[in-house]
Amino acid sequence: MIDRISCRIGFHIPRFAGVLRRMWGVPVCVWSSMLLVGCGKRDEVEFRPPIEYATVESAKILDAGMDVRTNWLGPKTVTVFPGVHALSELFPSAVYAIESEKGIVLIDAGVEAECHLLHESMIKVGLQLSDVGRVLITHAHYDHVFGANRIRELSGASIAIGSEDADVLRTLDLDALYSLFPRTPYEGGPIEVDQTLDDGDVIDLGDATITVVAAPGHTPGCRCFLLEKDSTRIFFSGDVISSLNFGPATYPVHISPKFRGDAEQYLATLDRLLAMPPPDILLPGHPRQQTRGYDVRLSSGQWKSLLMPAREEVQQAVARQLHDGKDFLDGLAKQVESELYYFGEIDGVAVYASVQNGKVIAFNAPGGDRFGEFFEKRAREFELPSVQPDAVVITTPEEVAYSGIGSLDPSTTIFAPRSVTDQLQSNAMVIESFDRWTERFGDRMEVIELPLGVACLIRLQSKQVLITPPAPRNISIAWTTRTSGQRTTSPLQPQAMNLQGELDESTAMAEDYLATVERLGSIRADIWLPARPFSGQNANLYDDDWQRILESNRKVAEQHAP
Whole-Å CA distances, 5 to 37, 72, 545: 11, 21, 28
For domain 72-321, the CATH superfamily is: Ribonuclease Z/Hydroxyacylglutathione hydrolase-like (3.60.15.10)
Residue at 277: amino acid letter:
P
pLDDT for 400 beyond 90:
yes
Mean pLDDT of the chain: 85
The residues near 322 (Cβ < 8 Å, ≥ 6 apart) are none
Predicted pLDDT at 440: 80
Q: Which of 517, 528, 500 is nearest to 21 (CA)?
A: 500
Mean pLDDT value of segment 285-301: 78
Q: Tens digit of pLDDT for each residue in 403-419?
A: 999 999 988 999 988 88
> What is residue 507's DSSP assignment?
H
pLDDT for 49 beyond 60:
no
Residue at 472: amino acid letter:
P
Gap between the Cα atoms of 508 and 561, Å rounded: 8
Gap between the Cα atoms of 231 and 391, Å rounded: 72
Q: Which of 236, 313, 244, 286 is nearest to 542 (CA)?
A: 313
Mean pLDDT value of segment 61-78: 57
What secondary structure does DSSP assign to 314-325, as a single string? HHHHHHHHHHH-
Predicted pLDDT at 11: 34
Q: Check: CB of residue 75 under 8 Å from CB of residue 95.
A: no
pLDDT for 521 beyond 60:
yes
β-partners of residue 72 are 294
Mean pLDDT value of segment 305-311: 93
Q: Which of 6-10, 92-96, 268-272, 330-334 has the lowest mean pLDDT?
A: 6-10
Q: Which of 404, 67, 58 is nearest to 229 (CA)?
A: 58
Q: Which of 335, 362, 340, 360 is nearest to 351 (CA)?
A: 362
Gap between the Cα atoms of 373 and 10, Å rounded: 40
Q: Percentage helix, strand, coil, to 5, in the chain? A: 35, 25, 40
CB neighbour burial string for 360-399, b if at least 16 within 10 angstroms, e if fewer: bbbbbbbbeeebbebbbebbeeeebeeebbbbbbbbbbbe
Q: Tens digit of pLDDT for each residue in 456-498?
A: 999 998 899 999 999 999 998 887 777 777 788 888 878 888 9
Gap between the Cα atoms of 397 and 429, Å rounded: 16
Q: Which of 26-40, 219-233, 265-279, 338-352 has the lowest mean pLDDT?
A: 26-40
Looking at the chain, which residues constitute the CATH 3.60.15.10 domain(s)?
72-321, 329-559
pLDDT for 56 beyond 80:
no
How many other CB atoms are there within 10 angstroms of residue 326's CB atom?
16
Report if pTM > 0.85: no
Let me know the angle formed at the C-alpha of 330 by 328 and 333, rounded to the nearest 5 degrees: 85
Half-sphere exposure of 277 (CA within 13 A, CB side): 7
Mean pLDDT value of segment 158-177: 96
Higher pLDDT, residue 85 or 246: 85
Q: How confident is the model at residue 90 (pLDDT cuts 50, 70, 90)?
A: confident
Higher pLDDT, residue 22 or 109: 109
The residues near 111 (Cβ < 8 Å, ≥ 6 apart) are 90, 91, 92, 142, 143, 146, 147, 184, 186
pLDDT for 538 beyond 60:
yes
Whole-Å CA distances, 338 to 266, 364, 466: 29, 20, 15
Q: How confident is the model at residue 74 (pLDDT cuts 50, 70, 90)?
A: low
- Radius of gyration of the chain, Cα coordinates, nearest whole angstrom: 26
Q: Which of 118, 97, 141 is nearest to 236 (CA)?
A: 97
The residues near 382 (Cβ < 8 Å, ≥ 6 apart) are 333, 335, 341, 353
Q: Check: CB of residue 367 under 8 Å from CB of residue 374.
A: yes
Gap between the Cα atoms of 539 and 331, Å rounded: 12
pLDDT for 100 beyond 80:
yes
Mean pLDDT value of segment 431-438: 82
Mean pLDDT value of segment 228-250: 91
Predicted pLDDT at 320: 96
What secondary structure does DSSP assign to 415-435, as a single string? E--HHHHHHHHHTT-EE--GG
Mean pLDDT value of segment 118-138: 96
Alpha helices in 36-114 (DSSP H): 58-63
Choosing among 3.40.190.10, 1.10.3720.10, 3.20.20.80, 3.60.15.10, the CATH entry for 329-559 is 3.60.15.10
Question: Cis peptide before 491, with omega less than 30 degrees from 0?
Answer: no
Q: Tens digit of pLDDT for each residue in 315-328?
A: 999 999 999 999 99
Whole-Å CA distances, 310 to 181, 269, 270, 546: 21, 11, 8, 22
Percent of the chain with pLDDT over 70: 85
Predicted pLDDT at 95: 95
Mean pLDDT value of segment 23-28: 44
Q: Check: CB of residue 379 under 8 Å from CB of residue 388.
A: yes
pLDDT for 401 beyond 80:
yes
The residues near 21 (Cβ < 8 Å, ≥ 6 apart) are 2, 29
Q: Which of 342, 346, 183, 186 is nearest to 256 (CA)?
A: 342
